[in-house]
Structure 1
Amino acid sequence: MSGKGRNDFLKRLETGHIIGDGAMATLMHQSGLPARTCFEALSVKDPKLVTEAHIAYLAAGSTVIQTNTFSGNRLGLERYGLDNQVWEINRSAVKVARDAIATFAEQSNQEQEAFVFGTIGSTADIKTPDFVDKGAKMSLRFLFEEQLTALLEGGVDGVLLETFADLNELQIAVETVRRLTDLPIIANLSPEVIGVTRDGHPIDEAFAVLEGEGADVVGLNCRLGLSGILRTYESIDLNPTSHYAAVPNSGLLHLVDGDYSYTGNADYFATIGSELIQKGVNYIGGCCGTTPDHIRALVKRLDAAPLANGRVGQGMLSAGTSNRVEISEKPSAISLDNNGAPPKKSIIEKAKEEPTIIVELDPPKVLDVEQYLDATKMLKQAGVDAVTIADNSLGTVRISNIAIASLIKELGVEPLVHVACRDRNLIGQQSHLMGLHVLGIHNILLITGDPSKFGDLPGATSVYDVSSTDLTKMVKKLNNGIAFSGQPLKQNSRFVVGTSFNPHVRNFNRAIDRLRRKLEAGADYVMTQPIYDIRLFEKLARAVEEFDVPVFVGIMPMISWRNAQFLHNEVPGIQIPEEILLRMNKDSKEAAVEEGLLISQELIDEALLHFNGIYLVTPFLRSELTAHLTRYIHDVKAPVR
């Protein structure tokens, strides 16, 4: 349907749903191109590669092909010295998409009906402070208009605006596009939390504003992922006369061995995509991490069981499926009293002799800490040995963990503080550690930290001056009274350093080798990601026996069927056996919570046969669940074999 216009596209939406394509940059990155490649320029430099990607999506069943122009504006191309090639790159991208449709039709011996939409992405993550300060609105209109003009001259069938975290910027983009063309406009917000844009507008109100500016389809893409986008649509009432889009990532972005990849398989993508159509979404595509396999699975699912679009507004979020639970590792530690005198038995020492419980409780995202402190008191009464405090997990801004650690220490609770490599250069890192020492907080967990693009300020810089292994060595220097620079500190710090381990990897032995290097660097104990496969405990115990350090195995109670699906499909580092997933499919929320606790108790029973250290992860600040499991452990107190 190449060259068709506004009415053709909207008629298709009114009579059913349209399947878009998937990711371009991450797809080509997965094929071997470096992450720092200017993918937009490939339409000029290597059009065959881009053509092949388009054809793969057409073959999978896509009927909308996006031009390879997400950051094809002057500001985005300036990073690669290509700011004077806006017209050439965008025109070429349209031609490549058109040629791909023609080539596929010839290869398949059939006329392929497909729209070509010109893609324009947000500039928020690439704007400089100088750009923002100097007439941002005028500059934004110039950037959008310049790129759009090239796309229109190339002959697109519509315009897709995507990955806009702020309503204000997307509103300017829609207004600019509508002023210059009457072609269909898809306008996708990319919020970082469910239900509200980054600049504070409720999603349903933001949709109404965008429609008022002239958007034909309003929707969500990218950051929230599959579950988050579905939950957002469930939380609002959909207008039966409006058209809605959902273009989620395949899962959540994570870093493995220095390379970026996404969780979420094709079958899960198809499942959530089907649910989105049932909720009333008309346009479904894929964002980061999606591939032709994801689109093919969705098309196959819809062909097997055609769905009628609905208009469902739940008015409230489903319990048990709130923001992704961070699974970063937590330390055990030597706790010191206010006078610096060690207690009779440290957590490390205790874990070598008897069950020892560490509970994760992430700091609040808001300034109100009352609920957090109440949860901490509940855990203390239950008998936890320490509370772990993440360091802006997933790149999401939370109250400083050094402040929270100070507060819970006043309550008589032992704090275990995470220190991420992401947010501080070595100056800030040493200063932070010195501050912890002065406050009498000596239990730390050193982690790499999820890249800042995961979080609610994706334009923030990820520092990563050193790895967590290198930082471990440097902290041990502090324990010897030597600063990172080699200068004397006049006192020795007393840090006990934890490190993390993910047993859910394809190459388990290789992961053990990495763990060995961390321990050789000086780590004092190990914390694992949550484990749901009961068979893993014995395998892990045998693998770490040579190290002779305490290991705290992760246990996280699930609270709903959807929560279990989300953890399995979207959270890096977690795998849940099929039989466990099926057990969580209950008729009521209460039954699901009860089953989740029962599963956790069974896992604890097995874990305590091999380990004394138990690391409980609190889901969604539901401290009553981890308090229940803490009491259960105290009642069981199974001996280590």
Structure 2
Amino acid sequence: MGTELYQRGQFINNPFEGINLREPDLVRRIHREYVDAGAEVIETNTFAANRLKLRRVGLEDEHDAINRTGVNLAREAAAGRAWVVGAIGPSGKRWVELTDRERDELCAVFVDQATVLLDAGVDGLSLETFGTLEELRVALRSVRSLTDLPILASAAFLGNGVTADGAAPDVVARALASGGADLVGANCADGPMELHAIAEAMLPVGRPVAILPNAGYPKHVDGRMIYMATPEYFGVFARRFLKLGVTAIGGCCGTSPAHIRAMSGAVRMMSGGTEPAIAPSMSVRERQDTPALTDEATAPVPFAERSSLAGRIAGTEGFVVSVEVNPPTGLDPSRAIEGARMLQAAGVDVINIADGPRASVRMSNWALALEVQRAIGMEAIVHLCARDRNLLGLQSDLLAYHQLGLRNLVVITGDPPKLGDYPHATAVFDLDSIGILRMVNQLNHGLNPVGRAIGATTAFAAACGVEPAALDYDRELRRLEEKVEAGASWIMTQPVYDPTVLERFLDDIEDFEVPVLVGLMPLASHRNAEFLHNEVPGMQIPQHIRDRMERVGRGPAARAEGVRIAQEALLAVRARVRGAYIMPPFGRWEAAVEILECIGYARPDAWRETWRD
């Protein structure tokens, strides 16, 4: 906030906190820009609004008004889209130099400010940029007894990696954790690279860690101090912080809305961190990026009428089967088309075409979908991922898909570029899968993402993905619930290799009342199983399954065992799912029908022998 106020003509001889009263519209506008950029938590403009600091600039009498207004402005800007925490900074006094009376006064200063912020309705408190551990502990002790709301306690470290009173990061983290801080962390002073090492030292303490670096070191340019770290650089380090295990990331001095937008994109890409410590008082729908349906909305086409596939999924007859057939890496789609033809002859309902799987470069999936429809009249499900398209491109593609007759979608966030042949390619992630589902839902109601009528309704049958064997299973279920609320009409699971895991998942989502296509991927070998388990996001293969694959060796025996494992999973849940989504490895589409033989499907005579090996 301070840097943005300075950049907009508010100089340091005017106390920044007093701007809450002098120019509230400016403060509110800056807050809103950060929320629009993707900030999920914003701090009030009250960092130096304690009585001691306000006394020095003649504003002590405005103490309550400045703090209360700071909360109100942040809440108005957040508008239910972000949490608001009350910022409390250091006093500027050195604890060791204070008399007993001055120490009592300092404790009262922290209590007074926190009390006003809490009474005004903050969602938590942020004790930030404390240069000494001693004063930070005093502040934490003073305010902890006032509230059960979350408190972040964050220290500012010197260039040598310790606080001004010589405390190392792990010492700081342990002291703050024992003092009752819900999150411990570091902010200001240094840029992302330096705070990465501090975060690494804090994490073993076991308390959630928040890191808010400066945008590098400032440089004096044309009479102003300019911070030199770019938003792209912040995005890179945001991913590094998340991989490290940091719970909350943000920025301090010099961090503009553009920096936050880059970090927000990294969060969407990696879905990193744990659930926020602060529980919002709003529903999932109230937090969505796209606006609520307006009076201009039109009733959507009933799900069963959106496509032939949607009609089958909505019905009760038969077992719906989709098999993944991916586009070529070059110009010739003939093999994929021939594979679709063979699958159609075997009774498969629809092919499923991924969108740059594992960040690989292939022919666009919509092109193959159209070629298959033209050649054999078979429906396709096209994946739509957030990685490669910004908000404009996503909307344009969706309008084009509808016009071209591509109505079946499975919406995913997408694998990061680092997994593919072009690891330095820019990932977009303007939206994640939940955001895209909301966009599709808007279009199905005849509205664009900003709520304006588009003249007609689209008729997309949109599915979402889910990982029943996710390591953070509770989080996976919460996100699935958000996807369904955002507009997903059916679910396609990641491959599942343990029937008990799948049974648990189906039990847990029974109340969702959404059709499920169970994901199956026959393993080709023990090496294939280890690769999928260790190197492919979203894949979890139990040890006993990998052991089975190791025991059978390689070649045809291994492929047959992989089919048997998939059949066991299918037979265990067939009566509880609407269908199956099969992903045969290496283009061996025959394996899909071999799996289905256990429920009555048969291979057509026309299978080419070359595909068996």
TM-score, structure 2 length as denominator?
0.50
| Bigger Rg, structure 1 or 2 | 2
Q: Which has the higher contact order (CA 8 A, sep 6+)?
A: 1
